[in-house]
């Protein structure tokens, strides 16, 4: 039924129609909130009402069975209410301590198998919350890595930090499976970014049958694509040429033209970016910077990737001050010291000369002394 005051009924219903009663009653009248223990928050309202929130890690791709089980828990303890955070954590909210205790015990008892967690409680405060990733490896044109695979491997490595809050500050880890970064990875403490390292291949036979050549030309941000006459099977065909030294392997042309495939088992891999954040505590929000230019795709467990991330987080944890995000710490000690302490190699691959001041990189930083 149409919602009152809504111009149309297109899209999801207005958010407040989903509020639990206690949230509806105390909307806009909350006094404070605190984290009682990893994964458990309490919000206290002016009326004295309390809401206890239990946060659990969720899988990003969920089966119907998994969602049904989540709904069953929500029906049992939360009058059917449940919410997902932007990091795909699942949050159950209850209003008294006895239900909170029963809910926590129930969640802890649900397992896929002995020793595994189905609904691990955590992801709050100064730890590693759920890792978000883009979904392109399933359906998109340009992924250079799997998304769920590396995320699962990294989260398994970092899992103790999901359940504890012993890091100096939150560490947000995100993955984008190509440099288009539709998952906003560029503002994460640690960004895992799929990269191509070779220009697209040109399939002359199909270019003018599968794509509008002007669109493929216009799609290139560096003007590397131009229309040419080529030859296939002894016949003249309309095709394109790619100026190799202009190409930054973004794959935009492939999005426009399926005859320009860019995926390459040998060339594709992962770059690691560090130090971004959207918070303005201590310092302004900032973009992450590339600190490892290339890590090969190593399914099924991405060992180099996981050990590099674990190492960066360990060094950060040992050296940063309380409340300092990874980027704040690196800026305070100087990025030269970041590379010295972590032992990561600083190479010319980490330097670019892109001129837009919104994306200042190493070369434009007068503080950088290597």
List residues near ligand SF4 by CB under 6 A: 134-136, 140, 142-143, 176-178, 180-183, 199-200, 219-220, 222, 224-225, 242, 247-253, 262
Q: Which is nearer to ligand SF4, 2 or 265 (CB)?
A: 265
Q: Cβ of residue 211: shortest distance to ligand SF4, in angstroms?
A: 12
Q: Which is nearer to ligand SF4, 248 or 315 (CB)?
A: 248
Q: Which is nearer to ligand SF4, 125 or 200 (CB)?
A: 200
Q: Cβ of residue 275: shortest distance to ligand SF4, in angstroms?
A: 20
Q: Cβ of residue 324: shortest distance to ligand SF4, in angstroms?
A: 29
Among 131, 69, 143, which Cα is nearest to 106's?
Answer: 69
Residue nearest to ligand SF4 (CB): 136
- Euclidean distance between CA atoms 259 and 254, whole angstroms: 7
The tokens of 223 are what? Answer: 């003007």
Q: Which residue has the tokens 């990733």?
A: 133
Question: For residues 350 and 339, is the Cβ–Cβ distance under 8 A?
Answer: no
Q: Which is nearer to ligand SF4, 142 or 288 (CB)?
A: 142
- Euclidean distance between CA atoms 191 and 79, whole angstroms: 37
Q: What are phi and psi of 61, to 5 degrees?
A: -100, 115
Q: Cβ of residue 165: shortest distance to ligand SF4, in angstroms?
A: 30
Helices and strands: H and E segment counts in the chain: 11, 12
- Euclidean distance between CA atoms 110 and 362, whole angstroms: 48
Q: Which is nearer to ligand SF4, 13 or 226 (CB)?
A: 226
- Euclidean distance between CA atoms 363 and 100, whole angstroms: 52
Q: Cβ of residue 262: shortest distance to ligand SF4, in angstroms?
A: 6
């Amino acid at each position: 039924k149409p919602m009152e005051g809504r111009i149309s009924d297109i899209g999801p219903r207005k958010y407040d129609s989903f509020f639990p009663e206690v949230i509806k009653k105390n909307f806009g009248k909350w006094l404070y909130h605190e984290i009682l223990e990893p994964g458990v928050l309490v919000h206290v309202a002016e009326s004295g009402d309390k809401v206890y929130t239990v946060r659990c890690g969720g899988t990003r791709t969920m089966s119907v069975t998994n969602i049904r089980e989540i709904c069953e828990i929500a029906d049992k303890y939360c009058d059917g209410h449940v919410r997902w955070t932007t990091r795909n954590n699942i949050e159950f909210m209850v209003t008294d301590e006895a239900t909170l205790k029963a809910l926590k015990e129930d969640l802890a008892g649900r397992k896929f198998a002995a020793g595994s967690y189905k609904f691990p409680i955590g992801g709050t405060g100064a730890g590693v919350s759920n890792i978000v990733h883009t979904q392109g490896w399933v359906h998109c044109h340009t992924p250079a890595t799997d998304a769920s695979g590396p995320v699962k491997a990294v989260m398994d490595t970092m899992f103790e930090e999901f359940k504890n809050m012993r890091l100096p500050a939150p560490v947000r880890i995100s993955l984008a499976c190509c440099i288009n970064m539709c998952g906003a990875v560029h503002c994460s403490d640690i960004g895992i970014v799929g990269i191509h390292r070779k220009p697209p291949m040109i399939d002359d036979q199909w270019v003018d049958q599968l794509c509008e050549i002007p669109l493929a030309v216009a799609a290139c941000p560096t003007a590397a694509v131009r229309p040419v006459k080529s030859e296939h099977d002894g016949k003249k065909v309309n095709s394109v040429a790619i100026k190799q030294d202009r190409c930054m392997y973004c794959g935009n042309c492939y999005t426009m033209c399926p005859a320009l495939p860019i995926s390459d088992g040998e060339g594709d891999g992962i770059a690691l970016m560090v130090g971004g954040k959207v918070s303005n505590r201590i310092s302004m929000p900032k973009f992450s910077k590339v600190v490892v230019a290339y890590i090969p795709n190593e399914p099924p467990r991405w060992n180099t990737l996981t050990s590099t991330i674990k190492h960066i987080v360990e060094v950060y944890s040992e050296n940063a001050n309380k409340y300092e995000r990874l980027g704040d710490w690196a800026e305070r000690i100087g990025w030269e010291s970041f590379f010295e302490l972590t032992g990561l190699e600083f190479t010319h691959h980490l330097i670019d000369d892109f001129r837009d001041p919104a994306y200042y990189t190493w070369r434009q930083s007068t503080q950088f002394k290597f």
